[in-house]
Amino acid sequence: MGKSKIWLSSPHMGTVELKNVQEAFVTNWVAPVGPFINKFEENLSACTKVKHTAVVQSGTAAIHLALRLLEVGTGDVVLCQSFTFIGSSNPISYQNAEPVFIDSEPETWNMCPEALETAIKHHLNQGKKPKAILVVHLYGMPAKMKEITAISEQYEIPIIEDAAEALGSSINGKPCSSFGAFGVLSFNGNKIITTSGGGALQSNDEIAINKARFLSTQARDDAPHYEHSTVGYNYRMSNISAAIGVGQLEVLEDRVKAKRENHAFYQDLFKEVEGVHFLEEPKGFFSNRWLSCVVFDQEKNKKLNPDQFRIHLEQENIESRPLWKPMHLQPLYKNKQFFGGKIAEELFQKGLCLPSGSNLTLQEKDRIQNTILSFLDQ
Ligand X SMILES: *Cc1c(COP(=O)(O)O)cnc(C)c1O
* Contacting positions for ligand X (CB under 6 A): 58-60, 84-85, 87-88, 136, 162, 164-165, 186, 188, 199
Supply the minimum distance, in Å, between the C-beta of residue 348 and ligand X.
15
Burial class (CB in 10 A: 0-12, 13-18, 19+), 223: exposed
Please name every residue paired with 352 in a beta bridge, in sequence order, or none if there are none: 294, 322
Answer for the pair 83, 139: CB distance below 8 angstroms, yes or no: no
Q: Where are the beta strands (DSSP E) in the chain?
A: 52-56, 77-81, 98-102, 132-136, 159-162, 170-171, 174-175, 182-186, 199-203, 276-277, 285-286, 292-296, 321-322, 338-339, 351-354
Query: Mind giving me the DSSP string for 342-371?
Result: SHHHHHHHHEEEE---TT--HHHHHHHHHH
If the CB atoms of residues 138 and 304 are measured against ligand X, the closer one turns out to be 138
Round to whole Å and give the CA distance between 288 and 286. 7
If the CB atoms of residues 263 and 367 are measured against ligand X, the closer one turns out to be 263
What is the distance of C-alpha 91 from the center of its chain? 14
Supply the minimum distance, in Å, between the C-beta of residue 61 and ligand X.
7
Supply the minimum distance, in Å, between the C-beta of residue 226 and ligand X.
28
If the CB atoms of residues 43 and 89 are measured against ligand X, the closer one turns out to be 89
Supply the minimum distance, in Å, between the C-beta of residue 194 and ligand X.
9
Supply the minimum distance, in Å, between the C-beta of residue 237 and ligand X.
11
If the CB atoms of residues 165 and 345 are measured against ligand X, the closer one turns out to be 165
If the CB atoms of residues 10 and 301 are measured against ligand X, the closer one turns out to be 10
Supply the minimum distance, in Å, between the C-beta of residue 67 and ligand X.
13
Supply the minimum distance, in Å, between the C-beta of residue 375 and ligand X.
27
Round to whole Å and give the CA distance between 90 and 332. 10
What is the distance of C-alpha 211 from the center of its chain? 23
If the CB atoms of residues 57 and 371 are measured against ligand X, the closer one turns out to be 57
Supply the minimum distance, in Å, between the C-beta of residue 88 and ligand X.
4
If the CB atoms of residues 184 and 243 are measured against ligand X, the closer one turns out to be 184
If the CB atoms of residues 21 and 111 are measured against ligand X, the closer one turns out to be 111
Q: Which residues of 273-283 are buried (b: 16+ CB within 10 A; e: fewer)?
A: bebbbebebee
Answer for the pair 82, 328: CB distance below 8 angstroms, yes or no: yes
Round to whole Å and give the CA distance between 125 and 336. 18
* Among candidate residues 199, 303, 191, the one with its CA nearest the CA of residue 256: 191
- Helix/strand/coil for 129: coil
